[in-house]
Amino acid sequence: MYFCVTFTYNKMEKKKVTLQDIADALKLTRSAVSKALNDHPKMSQKTKEAVQKMASELNYKPNQLAAALRNGKSKLIGVIVPAANITFFSSVIRGLEESVNNAGYSVILTQSHDSVEKEKEIINTLIESRVDGVVAALGLNTKDYSHFEKLKDEQIPLVLFDRIIKNFGVGTVQIDDFKGAYDAVSHLIENGCKRIAHLGGHQHLVLYRNRLDGYKAALKDHGITYQPELVNLSDLHHEDGRNAMQKMLDLENAPDGVFCSSDYAAVGSLQVAREKGKNVPIDFKIVGFSNEPFTSYLEPDISSVDQSSVIMGHKSGELILSAVTCSDTEFSPQNVVLNPTLMIRKSSKLFS
């Protein structure tokens, strides 16, 4: 599978330079040096400058571990996502890392792989690492929240995004899934669809419930009767989209459009519709969810609900930072709801 080229180098121990070394060099005490370095108000400018100079000369690197232990805060934010290589999550991570990094915090990244067991382990590890806060999206199968309660017990602030827990008393960041779905389905109706299918996600997750509700509401408001056989719930992977569409397009009264709660399911739908001889968008229209970059590369490109994932990350970062840095005994976690944007592309337009 691979081959290796190796060579050796000498790994010799070298003493790390500490506050004491700077103090010695300058005939000061550790405390003075510490204060100078931390820009303490009651320190003469002269001493500060001398210390700064010596620190960089000696190539001093403060030991954050020691500072963290002493201060009782690690400047570490733990992040839990199901998998780091799903575009939506990696985009949130991107935004999150940017925003907390700006404030001098680092991100510890963990993956639950949608396993509750793993989620529990991670939370223990994060507590032991003494992270100052945790930002998380629930695993697909997480229905019991006791491990998240533990964070509360330890007084570690928590912010949930996208896959959130309702009324859990923690900060949350989500998009308005109801509105995203409502807009998408209304758009399909306005472009001539009469029978719209919905490929949705598991209903124990709030966001998928909200999307289904938005779908139903849009139908109702446009005088279309809700048909349970046009709704399929799954993990929403590419294959799930294919399977669902295979069945639905074989219905006697097949749908003429579909609103998918995931772009992967939407691509699957597009492929199957084509295989069954449908012309998309003329015979069959599609809207996906998440606005994954690839949706715009397809032919026809697929309409999708953008959930501004990088911004969701930024916002999650802001929330966790405000919780972490808040010194009040009374703290009010915010629940942020971002506005979704329907990106209209060829897959759903009447005249393309």
Identify the bridge partners of residue 269 per DSSP, sorted by sequence position.
none
Within 236-275, which residues bind a copy of itself (CB under 8 A)? 238, 267, 271, 274
Q: How far apart are CA 248 and CA 103, in angstroms?
A: 50
Which x/- pattern over 165-184 shows residues binding a copy of itself (rule: CB under 8 A)? ----x---------------
Task: Please state whether beta strands 196-200 and 231-233 pair in parallel, antiparallel, or not at all (unpaired).
Answer: parallel
Q: Which of 71, 279, 339, 352 binds DNA (CB under 7 A)?
A: 71
Instruction: Determine if 111 is a binding residue for a copy of itself (CB under 8 A).
Output: yes
Within 10 angstroms of residue 59's Cβ, the number of other Cβ atoms is: 8
Task: Assess whether the previous peptide bond of 281 is cis (omega < 30° from 0).
Answer: yes
Name the minimum Å distance from CB 106 to DNA. 16
Q: Which of 124, 253, 325, 352 binds a copy of itself (CB under 8 A)?
A: 124
CB contact at 8 A, 54 and 47: no
Residue whose CB is less far from DNA, 72 or 277: 72
Which x/- pattern over 23-62 shows residues binding a copy of itself (rule: CB under 8 A)? ------------------------------------x-xx
Name the minimum Å distance from CB 44 to a copy of itself. 26
Q: Which of 334, 344, 346, 349 binds a copy of itself (CB under 8 A)?
A: 334
Six-digit token string for 187: 């758009």
Identify the bridge partners of residue 111 per DSSP, sorted by sequence position.
81
CB contact at 8 A, 256 and 283: yes
Q: Could you give the angle at the alpha carbon of 270 between the alpha carbons of 307 and 229, nearest 5°?
A: 85
* Residue 164 falls in which region: left (phi positive, over 0), alpha (psi -120 to 50) or beta: beta
Task: Assess whether the previous peptide bond of 340 is cis (omega < 30° from 0).
Answer: no
Instruction: Determine if 351 is a binding residue for a copy of itself (CB under 8 A).
Output: no
Q: How far apart are CA 290 and CA 261, in angstroms?
A: 8
- Among the candidate windows 4-12, 139-147, 248-256, 281-289, which touches a copy of itself by CB under 8 A? 4-12
Instruction: Determine if 350 is a binding residue for a copy of itself (CB under 8 A).
Output: no
Q: How far apart are CA 216 and CA 352, in angstroms?
A: 27
- Among the candidate windows 59-67, 133-141, 219-227, 331-339, which touches DNA by CB under 7 A? 59-67
Six-digit token string for 127: 């507590």
Within 72-101, which residues bind a copy of itself (CB under 8 A)? 74, 76, 79, 83-87, 90-91, 93-94, 97-98, 101
Which x/- pattern over 307-326 shows residues binding a copy of itself (rule: CB under 8 A)? ---x----x----------x
Q: How far apart are CA 244 and CA 255, in angstroms?
A: 12
Instruction: Determine if 109 is a binding residue for a copy of itself (CB under 8 A).
Output: yes
Catalog residues that contact DNA under the rule CB under 7 A: 16, 18-20, 27-32, 34-35, 37-38, 42-44, 46-47, 60, 62-63, 66-67, 69-72
